[in-house]
Amino acid sequence: MQKSLDHNAIRCRIVNRDRFQLPLIEKDLRVKMVFLTGPRQVGKTHLALTLLKKVPNGVYLNYDNLKDRDIITSAPNRLIVNLLVASESTI
């Protein structure tokens, strides 16, 4: 018999992960570049977008979008932003 998903438990894990990881990532971003890596569907994009909400002048670029890909590949040094999130997935 398959167990039903406990959506509240899943939501709590996401919130707890964000509360734990966000301050660490924010601290690291002050002095270095940070890469979020991991298996599919673990919340990398969610975490990155949560960070973007907290930073003025942040930009999200999706490598699957042709216009965004052009910016990433041809003129990344022209972007004057506080935080750049480059993703290869769709939201």
So where are the chain's domains?
Answer: 7-87
Q: What is the pLDDT of residue 11?
A: 53
- Whether pTM > 0.75 for this model: the answer is no
pLDDT tops 70 at residue 67: yes
> 23 versus 79: which is more confidently predicted?
23
Give the tens place of pLDDT for each residue, 55-66.
888 888 888 889
- Decide if pLDDT at 1 tops 60: no
Contact partners, residue 87, CB within 8 Å, separation at least 6 = 45, 48, 60, 61, 62, 63
